[in-house]
Chains A and B, each alone.
Chain A
Amino acid sequence: MRQFKIFVAVVLAIILQANLQTIWDPLKFVNLPLIVVVYFALQRDMIEALIIGAVTGIAADAFSGSLLGAGGFAKTVVAFAIAFTASKVNIDNPLLRIPVLAGAVLVNESVQVGLNKLLGQSVNGPFIVRLANTVIATMVAGTVLLFVIEQFFSDKALLRRQFAQRRKLARRNVVNISRKNLRFGKRR
Chain B
Amino acid sequence: MMLARTQLEMKQRAPWLLVGLLFLNIVLMGVDANRKGGGQIVRVFIQAVISPVQRVASAITGTIGGGLQGFSKARSAGTENEQLRQRVAQLEAEASDARLTKAENERLKALLDFKNSKQFETVPAQVISRDTTAWFNSVIINRGSSSGIKDGMPVVTPEGIVGRVIATSPWTSQIMLLTDERSAAGGVIGQLGTSESFGAIRGLGGDKGLIEMKYVSGLVPVNVGDVVTTTGQDRIYPPGLKIGEVIEVIQGSASTAHTIRIKPSARLNSLSEVAVLIYRAPEQPQMQQTLTEQEKVNR
Chain A residues close to B by CB (< 8 Å): 2-3, 11, 14-25, 28-29, 31, 33, 45-48, 50-51, 53-54, 57-73, 76-77, 80, 83-84, 87, 109, 112-113, 115-116, 119-126, 130, 133-134
Contact = CB atoms under 8 A, between A and B. Distances in A.
Query: Interface of chain B, helix or strand or loop or mixed?
Result: helix
Contacts, number: 188
Contacts of B132: 14, 17-18, 33, 60-61, 63-64
Contacts of A133: 134
Interface stretch (B56-64, B79-87, B101-109, B245-253): B56-64
B28 interface: yes
Nearest to A74: B25
Query: Interface of chain A, helix or strand or loop or mixed?
Result: helix
B57 A54 contact: no
B110 interface: no
B135 A57 contact: no
Contact of A23 (B18, B46, B61, B137): B61
B21 interface: yes
B18 A76 contact: yes
Given A50-B17, A124-B181, A73 B29 contact: yes
Interface residues of B, number: 56
Contact of A58 (B28, B138, B166, B176): B28
Contact of B25 (A17, A23, A51, A72): A72
Interface in B100-132: 129-132
Interface of B: 1, 5, 7, 10, 13-14, 17-18, 21-22, 24-29, 31-33, 40, 42-43, 46-47, 50, 53-54, 57-58, 60-62, 64-65, 68, 129-138, 140, 166, 174, 176, 180-182, 205-206, 269-270
A45 B10 contact: yes
A126 B10 CA distance: 40
Contacts of B133: 28, 31, 60, 64-66, 71, 112
A120 B26 CA distance: 14
